[in-house]
Structure 1
Amino acid sequence: MRLTGKRILVTAAGQGIGQASARRFAAEGAQVLATDINPAALQALAGESGIRTMVLDVCDAAAIRTLASREPAFDVLFNCAGYVHHGTVLDCAEEDWAHAWQLNVSSMYRLIRALLPKMLDAGGASIINMSSAASSVKGVPNRFAYGTTKAAVIGMTKAIAADFVTRRIRCNAICPGTVESPSLAARIDEQARQQQRDPAQVRADFVARQPMGRVGTPQEIAALAAYLASDESAFVTGTIHVIDGGWSN
């Protein structure tokens, strides 16, 4: 029960890492506001002890301001929402580029900027930003927009940590490798369609590049997020936490 008494906001909590983290936070005693753009996805968390759900489009600046004005201070913000664009710079149209920046970077900027004043007034908080081992830590083919924006998340994380370290605001980044999730399944299906290949073979290729011979689980990432949310990590800020089964070594 490391998170007893803490109020935590999680974005993209409808599935995958966000959902697993919301459940882990609640299991550790936190009061969790689980948000997602998809109300149907949030139904999986509805009624669970310690979890309240709310539809939130993290690209909607007005909705973020409204949330910040209505909610008391959060002890933890987990920026989990993100978008994976597949392709090189030549495959990245203007709209793809804009969407990747909007969802992967600007949404975090807006949430942090909106919630930080109350966090400061309350005496501190932990901000956890979802980055990636792909491209931001290790160069990966066909992840141009994704890798660029996730590298920007690392820069944002370090800047927030440096600016507010004396005011008890901690900010850290998680950089997962390939993790089993609905997002991964959708990418596998899309790549199989584009390449006219069997989805099972595309999945096998994802697994084959993992030194451990498997992809990660959302629960494994959630365990790291719980540590960064807890007071056990009180001396940890401005850091990159790679959790990829040795893929980026």
Structure 2
Amino acid sequence: MMSNKIREYSGRVVNAPGDNILAEPGGVCISRNVFDHIKNKLRGEEPKSQAVKWILSTGIAVLPFTNIGNAPDQEYFSDGITGQIITALSNASHLFVIARNSTFSYKDRSVKIRQIAEELGVKYVLKGSVQKSGEQVRITAQLVDTIEGHHLRAESYDRKMVNLLQLQDEITMDIVAKLQLELSAAELGRLSATRTRSLRAYEKLLRGYKHMPNRTVGDTLKARRFAQEAIELDPG
């Protein structure tokens, strides 16, 4: 269990397992950017001593959703949906969401949920699966409280592909409701903002999204190409 110690380290983003070597034993190291972000949410106690308490009580890691069926050409779909849920949850100011690059380091690895939570320093873990078959999609989502050791929510969503965007919003709002987060009207708007009217355009975005984290020249060009194709399908 991590103690309530925190050390600032300017200019270095610590967002991967094993990357907190600068912290004292039993402590946790976060970047200056993270500290500056969360200190504005803290009231009353001295910010450094309260920061870890806040992260541990509100932190959530969204693990890569499993691609059911194991079709390699559908991997972009499950990864993209995971990324979109991470992005949506990040709009909730009272929630500390672990970065995609960190959670995706657990992809295709057999690691216990409790261990992942301890390594990332979070209380909640969201895991799930995606199964796409023709014009139907099934998404399962399990929200786990790793401190109490039980599921807060386990749900299976069966929808037609044409309702995929609404389904992602529904999953996000279900998580927010279960965590009893208080959101402003602006935050609610960002959580359920319409991304595109075209499902084909959205699938192009998901394909491009898969290449973005790699940051190689080839992947950047592919991501840009898919983004351009999405714009052509839905210019508005």
Q: TM-score, normalised by structure 1?
A: 0.32
Normalized per residue, which structure has more strand? 2
Higher Rg: 2
Higher relative contact order (CA 8 A, sep 6+): 1
